Amino acid sequence: MELLNGQYRFSGDTDPLQLVEKYGSPLYVYDGERIESQYKRLQTAFPVKDLRIHYACKALTNINILRLLKHLGAGLDTVSIQEVWIGLKAGFAPNDILYTPNCVSMEEINMAVEAGVRVNIDNISILEQFGHEHPDYPVCLRINPHINAGGNSKISVGHIDSKFGISIHQLPHLKKVVDTLGINVEGLHMHTGSDILDAEVFLRGAEILFQAALHFEGLDYLDFGSGFKVAYTENGVSTDVEALGQSLSTRFTEFCEEYGKDLGLMFEPGKFLVSDSGVFFAKVNVVKTTPSTVFAGIDSGLNHLIRPMFYAAHHDIVNVSNPSAKPRIYTVVGYICETDTFGVNRKISDIREGDILGLKNAGAYCYSMASNYNSRFRPAEVLIHKGKDYLIRERETLDDLLNKQIEIPIFA
Ligand SMILES: *Cc1c(COP(=O)(O)O)cnc(C)c1O
């Protein structure tokens, strides 16, 4: 998929306007070829003996996307028991699923054990309970190295007062619990935040994990989480995975020698694999000129794509219907009854009512964060695979909104 003369190009030259015609608006479209090329890029970037790429499925949970990644050889990273169940339904072997919960109940962790998936624990008190209840079940330990990898405050999780992980400063305590209860630690994990821009910072965190790993015998893998950043604008910054891959792989191989065993090198990318495979298409309902601003109001809102409002995230916006017209300045807004602005003062080619706009980087944390706010239907999702388009989720209907509601007789 690329932006060509202001037009979107999906693999097989699928015309986005025809897709919107066929499936309606608004519409999420994902290009499977792009997901595959991102996956292969990561694979090539880390030349180690045992690389394990686990797709962090909270980014985009459609079961077909999970299966596509499974076909490519990925494992799965899950953060809830529901994601575990979807992963199993998608056909992942329990062994290829890592469950990394935070602040969940022991009951939920027990369900993950029942499902047979790998369990990542990020809290000493839970680890103690776990050790008592499941003395033989192997665990991974989520360590917080307190390296701040950047990103915004909502996604950065490595700072000192973060709720995530077991602080590296608690290593002696952790070690005591593990030894006393005879817990089988199979992996160590860190996930510091969502944007790695600086390989040096990342390597500093990795070094802390290596040093911690020397305290645990019988490890099977080290999991470095994610934080691979993709560009959200044409010249936007992204993680140089090739450079990171070179330096980390060299250091990792060296560490394995020191440790005396070839460990698995694990990553859990979400955004990197799916973000720029996706485009969100919406129709312009109104063009409204006020004394200071020209608004383009689309048939969507923060209910369908909340990242700009929630994270102040930037999504490039293009006019797919009128790509070569003269650009003008627009503020693109939604139809929700509160401020829901997708982009302020954007240069977009002349917008007419009825035009279709495309919002880029709509693969990760877009549909998966969508809601029914204002009682709107969530959109349909389409996957392009080998040049053909497949509907992978229907647009919702009124039945979906009313489905779980119970009408009590008093008011009927
Ligand atoms: C969200 C999450 C990821 C994926 O992060 P991205 O920025 O989408 O790559 C990986 N691991 C864990 C534990 C997460 O919570």
**What is the tens place of the pLDDT at every residue in 132-141?**
999 999 999 9
Separation of CA 210 and ligand 1 centre (Å): 20
Residues 316 and 12 sit within 8 Å (Cβ to Cβ): no
Q: What is the pLDDT of residue 193?
A: 67
Domains of the chain and CATH, by start: 2-29+275-402 (2.40.37.10), 32-273 (3.20.20.10)
142 CB under 6 A from ligand 1? no
Separation of CA 269 and ligand 1 centre (Å): 6
Closest ligand 1 atom to residue 142 Cα is: 13
At position 52, the amino acid (one-letter code) is: R
Name the pTM for this structure: 0.95
Separation of CA 404 and ligand 1 centre (Å): 31
Confidence category of residue 212, pLDDT binned at 50, 70, 90? very high
Interval 97-108 mean pLDDT: 96
Separation of CA 58 and ligand 1 centre (Å): 8
162 CB under 6 A from ligand 1? no
Confidence category of residue 155, pLDDT binned at 50, 70, 90? low
Answer with the residue of higher pLDDT: 159 or 376: 376
Angle between helices 241-259 and 199-213 (to 10 degrees): 20
Residues 388 and 12 sit within 8 Å (Cβ to Cβ): yes
195 CB under 6 A from ligand 1? no
Separation of CA 186 and ligand 1 centre (Å): 20
Marked catalytic residue, from 140, 256, 337, 366: 337
Interval 6-16 mean pLDDT: 81
Give the range among 77-86, 135-144, 174-183, 230-239 with minimum mean pLDDT: 230-239
Q: Which residue's CA is minimally distant from atom 1 of ligand 1?
A: 56
Give the mutation target among 190, 191, 367 for probing the ligand 1 site: most ligand atoms within 8 A of CB: 191
Interval 269-278 mean pLDDT: 97
Q: What is the pLDDT of residue 198?
A: 78
Take residue 107 and report the two structure tokens written for it. Answer: 């009951």
Answer with the residue of higher pLDDT: 7 or 34: 34
225 CB under 6 A from ligand 1? yes
In the predicted structure, residue 152 carries a pLDDT above the cut 80:
no
Task: Return the HEC string of the chain.
Answer: CEEECCEEECHHHCCHHHHHHHHCCCEEEEEHHHHHHHHHHHHHHCCCCCEEEEEEHHHCCCHHHHHHHHHHCCEEEECCHHHHHHHHHHCCCHHHEEECCCCCCHHHHHHHHHHCCEEEECCHHHHHHHHHHCCCCCEEEEEECCCCCCCCCCCCCCCCCCCCCEEHHHHHHHHHHHHHHCCCEEEEECCCCCCECCHHHHHHHHHHHHHHHCCCCCCCEEECCCCECCCCCCCCCCCCHHHHHHHHHHHHHHHHHHHCCCCEEEECCCHHHHHHHEEEEEEEEEEEECCCCEEEEECCCCCCCCHHHHHCCCCCEEECCCCCCCEEEEEEECCCCCCCEEEEEEEEECCCCCCEEEECCCCCCCHHHCCCHHHCCCCEEEEEECCEEEEEECCCCHHHHHCCCCCCHHHC
Give the mutation target among 190, 226, 244, 276 for probing the ligand 1 site: most ligand atoms within 8 A of CB: 226
269 CB under 6 A from ligand 1? yes
Q: What is the pLDDT of residue 2?
A: 53
In the predicted structure, residue 202 carries a pLDDT above the cut 90:
no
164 CB under 6 A from ligand 1? no
Give the mutation target among 194, 202, 228 for probing the ligand 1 site: most ligand atoms within 8 A of CB: 194
Confidence category of residue 7, pLDDT binned at 50, 70, 90? low
In the predicted structure, residue 4 carries a pLDDT above the cut 50:
no
pLDDT digits (tens, 9 = 90+) for 168-177: 999 999 999 9
pLDDT digits (tens, 9 = 90+) for 19-35: 999 999 999 999 999 99
Active site residue 337: yes
267 CB under 6 A from ligand 1? no
Residue 124 phi, psi dihedral angles, 5° rounding: -65, -35
Q: Which residue's CA is minimally distant from atom 2 of ligand 1?
A: 56
276 CB under 6 A from ligand 1? no
Confidence category of residue 156, pLDDT binned at 50, 70, 90? low
pLDDT digits (tens, 9 = 90+) for 334-388: 999 999 999 999 999 999 999 999 999 999 999 999 999 999 999 999 999 999 9
Q: What is the pLDDT of residue 5?
A: 46
Q: What is the pLDDT of residue 98?
A: 98
77 CB under 6 A from ligand 1? yes
83 CB under 6 A from ligand 1? no
Give the range among 29-33, 66-70, 148-152, 205-209 with minimum mean pLDDT: 148-152
- Across the chain, mean pLDDT equals 93
CA–CA dist 102, 363 (Å, integer) = 24
- What percentage of the chain has pLDDT greater than the value 70? 94
In the predicted structure, residue 149 carries a pLDDT above the cut 60:
no
